[in-house]
Each structure stands twice: as structure tokens, then as C-alpha cells.
Amino acid sequence: MLVLLLRFFFVVLAVLIGMTSGQYFYRALTEETFPPWLGGAMGFGIAVTLIAAEHAFRRRFTRSLVAFLIGLAGGLLLSFLLLAVLKLVLQDDELYRNLDLPLALVTTYLVVITVLRGADRFRLVLPFVEFQHQRTDTGALVLDLAALGDGRVPALVRAGVLDQRLLVHRRVLAAAEELIAAPDAAQQARGRRALDGLAQLRGLGRPLTIDETEIPNAASLADVLIGLTRLEGGRLIAGDHELARRAQAEGAAVIDLAELAAAANPGVRPGDVIHVAIEKVGEGKRQGVGHLDDGSLVVVNEADDKVGTRVKCTVLRLHNTAQGRMVFAELSG
């Protein structure tokens, strides 16, 4: 709220300065009368452009009134020093009088925003006030497409294991919609699971944000997710094992759901009876393929004619691969 208020006053002051100081620069180019509304529009455009640039490279931060006062004092001091140097350099007093206020405004704004953005990174001791690193938000949890459709994620959120802010990039939703429009039934099911998982997470009442940040030089969805994780200083919840390995190689913090599942109870064991929706015909003779809620691939014997139905089957064996866990089962009854 404090940052929004600061931006509002910055825009208002920029408009007022544009309406007044703009006449000096306009008269230098033409002898016509300078309309005040044009100067105000120019000031508004410059202010909005500066705010947009600052917001595009934002970092999550702890806002503090103490940080605002420190930033304001530092900005005014830096403005004073810059104006002192500028007065020695410029020989035109009228030009200096029209540059001093815009320069002071822009410098103070940038310093205040910088201090506010990095407030949680500093430790300052003032009389009766200790301003130190006390970050309650340890970073966002960025979900990839596989994790969004993983039924274990809502359960982990309910259990309090994943208690940070959840973040889903817009391109993950776009990828889910592309899967739903694909001709392959298995891909369609995967896309629907992702959107259903998003609805479940929203229903838990936890902070969940659809992020639209443009990540520079991100050619693929994996680049976007890794870049966003770094930008947020958070962790990537990866249901895709290959994505998890790449993110770890690039130094991003990762929670690999496959490793998490392997460390905990596997959920199903040989001999367990499970229910699974057959999504497509398998590669083997008379095999049907489906998925468990955690994304594990299930291959069911004698189920090639059960596509589109939910069947009861018995687990025969489990097989772990680089892409995740495979469950081999046969129809029960």
C-alpha cells in the first residue's frame, strides 16, 4: 500500500512539473504558446514509463515505514549532491532552475524504491528501532505443469508442508489448454488434471497468484519456470523429473515430487486394489493406460477395450523410471 501511495504522488508531481517546467523546453524549440495540458501529459507519460520499468524488474520485499524514511533521507541527500554538481557544470541559471526539481524528484523516487525493495536485506540499528532481516515470506512456490496436475500437491498444502505463496505462470495454463485441445486422449487428460488441480488449490484458500512476468531470453516453458523461480527467490515444485534435474543444475531451489514420493510411503504396493480411468490403449497387447492422482502411469492388462471407463484392478508390480513411477496391474474380478 505504501508503494502504491508513493507511485500515486510521484505521478501527480510529475504531471505538475510537466505543466510548469515544460514551457521552458518548448520555448527553446518554437515561439508558439505551450499548452499546459501537453506538458502534464508528457510528465504523466515519463512517470508511468519509469514506474513500469521499475515494476518489470521487481523483487518481493518487506515494506516498512522505517525503510521509507531512510530512503527518503538518502534520496534527498543524493539529490542535493547531484544538484550541487549540476550547478557547477551548467552556466545557464534558467536551465538549472528548470532541471533541479525534476532531477530531485526522479532521484528521490529511485532511492526510496530501491530501499523499499531491499528492506528485508538490511540490518540497521537506530535509536529505539531495530530494522533487521525478518522475512516472513521465504519465497514463492512455483508450480510446473506436472505438479499442477499432481493430486499430492493439494494434500501437501492442506498438511502445511507447502505453506508458502503459490505461483503459477500464465504460460503453464496456456500449455494445459494446448494439451486439452490435442487429439491424444492421454494429453487431454493431462491438461484437464492440471486445470482441476488449479481449482483445488484455489479452493484451499491459500495465496495463489497467476504470474505474467516476462522472463528475458526464455525460449521454452522450462526456461520461464527456472527464471521465475530465481526472480522470486523461491522454490520450484517439479513433477517433471527432467525439469527438476535441469533446475538443480542451474542452481535453482527445487522440490522434486518424484523424490518426495520415493522418500515417503509409495502409496500403492503389489497386491493393492486401485481404481483407475483408462485413457488410451497401451503399447503392449491388450493393454490399457491410465494415471493415478499423483501422476503415476498405470498399465492395466486386458483393458484395451475399457478406454473412457474407470476400472478396478490389482497392482502386480512397481517400476521407477527417469520420467516417474510405472504401475503394472491387472483387472480385478
* 141-263: CATH architecture: 3-Layer(aba) Sandwich (3.40)
Please report the pLDDT score of residue 272 as a whole number: 86
Query: Quick check: 137 pLDDT over 50?
Result: no
Q: In this predicted model, which residue has the larger pLDDT, 69 or 199?
A: 199
What is d(CA 256, CA 263) in angstroms, rounded to the nearest whole number?
11
**Range(s) for CATH 3.40.50.1010 in the chain?**
141-263
Query: How far does CA 228 lie from the centroid of its chain?
Result: 5
**Range(s) for CATH 2.40.50.140 in the chain?**
273-331
Please report the pLDDT score of residue 119 as a whole number: 57
| Closest to 314 measured CA to CA, from 296, 295, 324, 300 | 300
Strands (E), 192-292: 208-211, 235-238, 253-256, 273-281, 287-291
The CATH superfamily assigned to 273-331 is Nucleic acid-binding proteins (2.40.50.140)
Query: Quick check: 126 pLDDT over 70?
Result: no
Confidence at 62, pLDDT banded by 50, 70, 90: very low
Q: Which of the 8 DSSP states describes residue 3?
A: H
Report CA dihedral (251, 253, 256, 262) to the nearest 10 degrees.
100
Report CA dihedral (109, 136, 195, 274) to the nearest 10 degrees.
170
Query: Quick check: 181 pLDDT over 70?
Result: yes
Q: Are strands 297-301 and 273-281 parallel, antiparallel or unpaired?
A: unpaired
∠ Cα 37 42 47 (to 5°): 125
What is d(CA 17, CA 20) in angstroms, rounded to the nearest whole number?
5
Q: Is the pTM of this model over 0.85?
A: no
Q: Which of the 8 DSSP states describes residue 239?
A: S
User: Mean pLDDT in the chain?
Assistant: 78
Question: Which grid cell is 268?
Answer: 500403492
Please report the pLDDT score of residue 288 as a whole number: 92
Query: Quick check: 211 pLDDT over 60?
Result: yes
Of the candidate ranges 192-196, 214-218, 226-230, 251-255, the one whose mean pLDDT is the lowest: 214-218
Confidence at 136, pLDDT banded by 50, 70, 90: very low
DSSP per-residue codes, 153-188: HHHHHHTTSS-S-EEEEHHHHHHHHHHHTSS-HHHH
Residues 64-71: what's their mean pLDDT?
65
| Closest to 328 measured CA to CA, from 269, 260, 277 | 269
Query: Quick check: 133 pLDDT over 50?
Result: no
Question: Which grid cell is 185?
Answer: 486422449
Say if residues 240 and 144 touch (Cβ distance below 8 Å). yes
